[in-house]
Amino acid sequence: AAVAGGMSVLERLRARDEARVAARQQQRRQEEAAEPACTVAGFHERFGKLRAAVEQAIEGKSFAEGTTTLQEMRSLLTNSCAVLTTRDMRQTQEIIEKLHEKMCADNTTKKAFSFTRKSATPPVANTPSPTAVPQLIASPVCVGNEPETRRGYFNLSDCTLVKGVDEGESNVARYDFALDQLSGCTVCITQTFTALRLTNLTRCRVVCAPVDGSVYLEHCTECVLCLAARQIRMHHMVACDVLLFAKTNPIIENCTQLTFGPYCFDYDGKKAAFELCGFLEAENKWSCVEDFSWLHGTASPNWRARTDTPPAITAATAASLTLMSRQ
């Protein structure tokens, strides 16, 4: 019994050491994925290693490990959008989705059918389902009869949405862009549009390149928004943090619990985009908010200005933005 007990102790110690090594390796991969790749080659090198790890996890039926690594792949892709073309992002996303689908299929079919009567008590699930992996979408959807003039993201939840400059497009896309019916999404846009429309957003984080025209927002709740435009109008907004560059005075109507601060999205091409739009950061009117629902002579109770300087936001940090009231 002592020998058996001794072997049991050794096995437990060995298992603990293996778990510790695996945890360190996973932490190292997560740290690497959290850092944006400096070059396209660096991105593909990291992505290839993670892809091989997922394929190995699928083959070994290690679905929990595969799910975690898929999340790391998505994080790496999101954080590296500044150095990738839209084509690279689309192709890489297709690879991730195929791995995700294969993992879901294997996880669904791994249980063998049995005629044996089993206990009605359901088993305790310790392995996270692969379907819980947040979705990353690089390509927007075209809507309406004129898809070349209006594009956007619609009816999505818990996604990371990345929109860069498409091949063949100029730095200023001559069409409007829209975000509608999004919940729990992170949106990173480095393309400049003629107009931007944000409607029915809940608990979203949106960072966007300058808009060479107007931004219209309506029915957004508990969102963090970093926007730059010539004209900005907001209607029926509740509990949102808005970081702005505004060429003219921002206008709000039927809004409440809004916090305003200066625009702080930092990405490659920002300086050129500001010059193309004719924006000067020294002429930012982010704090000159006009509340059309408050016509009294006193300050509006529906919004307030930040007293601190918000830190720079990058594609890598957009997903971690939180409301000031929750910090």
Residue 183 near residue 200, CB atoms below 8 Å: no
**Secondary structure (DSSP) of 265-283:** B--TTHHHHHHHHT--GGG
> Which residue is it, tokens 């929990």?
64
pLDDT of residue 216: 95
| pLDDT interval class at 2 (50, 70, 90) | very low
pLDDT of residue 135: 53
Q: 60-104: per-residue pLDDT in tens?
A: 888 778 777 877 777 677 666 666 666 677 677 778 878 877 877
Degrees (nearest 5) of the Cα angle 141, 142, 146? 175
Residue 196 near residue 233, CB atoms below 8 Å: no
d(CA 270, CA 191): 10
| pLDDT interval class at 22 (50, 70, 90) | confident
pLDDT of residue 133: 40
Residue 193 near residue 212, CB atoms below 8 Å: yes
Residue 223 near residue 204, CB atoms below 8 Å: yes
Q: Which amino acid is at 169?
A: E
Mean pLDDT of the chain: 79
pLDDT of residue 27: 67
**Which residues are paired to 232 by β-bridges?**
215
Lowest mean pLDDT among 21-30, 115-124, 210-219: 115-124
Highest mean pLDDT among 84-88, 99-103, 174-178, 254-258: 254-258
Question: Residue 266: left if φ>0, alpha if ψ -120 to 50, beta else—which one?
Answer: beta
Q: What mean pLDDT is predicted for residues 252-275?
A: 94
Residue 175 near residue 149, CB atoms below 8 Å: yes
pLDDT of residue 64: 77
| pLDDT interval class at 150 (50, 70, 90) | low
Residue 231 near residue 247, CB atoms below 8 Å: yes
Q: What mean pLDDT is predicted for residues 21-37?
A: 62
With CA atoms as reference, report the closest residue to 314 among 212, 188, 146, 152: 188
d(CA 159, CA 137): 7
d(CA 253, CA 5): 73
Lowest mean pLDDT among 39-53, 83-97, 236-250: 83-97
d(CA 78, CA 87): 14
pLDDT of residue 39: 77
Question: Residue 295: left if φ>0, alpha if ψ -120 to 50, beta else—which one?
Answer: alpha
Integer angstrom CA distances of residue 141 from 55, 202, 209, 240, 323: 30, 20, 19, 26, 28
Q: What mean pLDDT is predicted for residues 141-164?
A: 72
Residue 261 near residue 306, CB atoms below 8 Å: yes
For residues 85 and 108, the model is more confident at 85
